Amino acid sequence: MISTSLFRSVPLVFAMAILATGCGGGTSDTSSASTNSTALSNNTSSLESASSSSNNTASISAVSAVSSKGCSSTTLFANGKYTLTSDGLSREFLVSVPANYNPKKAYPLVVGLHWRGGQATDVYNGNSWASQKPFYGLKELYGDSAIFVAPNGLDSGWANPNNRDIHFVQAMVDQLKNGLCLDTSRIYATGFSFGGMMSNAIGCEMGNTFRAVAPMSGSLWSGCGNSQNKVAAILLHSKVDSVVGYQYGEEARDKYIAKNSCTTTTRAIGTNGCVEYQGCNSKYPVAWCGYNDGGHWPPAFAAKEIKTFFDRF
């Protein structure tokens, strides 16, 4: 069981509620996602991490490079499960490559993070209560125009002690850059509940690697480093979320507003009540979708709004 001390600055009553019900609103439903043996080929590899952490010394601007090293080297990844060693721990991730993958075409990369009690397979396959379609519906919208990866958390989620999960995500992305043709200026992260918290941790600290994040029903409980690297962010949170309260989503949103020098003036975007804060650094907008229903659940419009936001970069 995850210690309540890992939920940074969370009132004890909320931490205990999450540990009792799970960040998945009362059920992990880890058995409901059927493993797609065709999609998950026996392509398991043990890839040693070349680097276990990010030094976060890049400039505040977004990554300027486009084509990754993998565009001019042997393709190392296909659909399936892979492992690497990070911080002395064996970590797993599932890769989804377009059927018509072209090793000379630079693809965006979307990282999909699971909720507490969930698994990477739940995000990868869909058919689960919180991700009914693969990668929260984003894979269907992107089709064969993007590469997707679903990493597996430890201890049922993404507590990220001592930046353990940040190090893992960085090592994973580094290996994908070396083994696939990625557009390094279009690397994105999204996740729900504990996956939303980890998306925020990535947004706080990994702007030298990620261009934008889209936390759903998240908070800052996986940590929020003080890196000066920025990302664009769209956050989604229900006003009646009884597991991760609305105010914790607002707290995360306000971090991006301050970091990206936004004002509190907003304008409507999309068709689902989302707003964008004005006056932000032109490269790093911040959008907020605070909706009235749904509780602790990814909203039906999430994939559409997230992809529309990501496509701006």
pLDDT per residue as tens digits for the range 113-131: 999 999 999 999 999 999 9
Q: Quick check: 153 and 100 in contact, CB under 8 A?
A: no
CATH number at residue 199: 3.40.50.1820
pLDDT tens figures, 130-177: 999 999 999 999 999 999 999 999 998 999 999 999 999 999 999 999
Q: Check residue 220 and give its pLDDT.
A: 98
Q: Which domain holds residue 67?
A: 4-29+36-310
Q: How confident is the model at residue 52 (pLDDT cuts 50, 70, 90)?
A: very low
Alpha helix segments (H runs only) across the chain: 12-21, 120-125, 138-142, 164-179, 194-205, 246-259, 302-310
pLDDT tens figures, 237-282: 999 999 999 999 999 999 999 999 999 999 999 999 999 999 999 8
Q: How confident is the model at residue 304 (pLDDT cuts 50, 70, 90)?
A: very high
Q: Check residue 36 and give its pLDDT.
A: 36
Which residue type does 158 have?
A: W
Residue with tokens 């980890």: 198
pLDDT score of 64 more than 70: no
Kindly calculate the radius of gyration of the chain based on its CA atoms and give it in whole angstroms: 18
Domain count for the chain, please give it.
1
Rounded Cα distance, 309 and 298, in Å: 16
Segment 170-198 shows an average pLDDT of 98
Q: Check residue 71 and give its pLDDT.
A: 96
Share the mean pLDDT of the chain.
Answer: 84
C-alpha distances in Å from residue 285, one per residue of 139, 146, 267: 23, 22, 12
Higher pLDDT, 49 or 179: 179
pLDDT score of 188 more than 70: yes
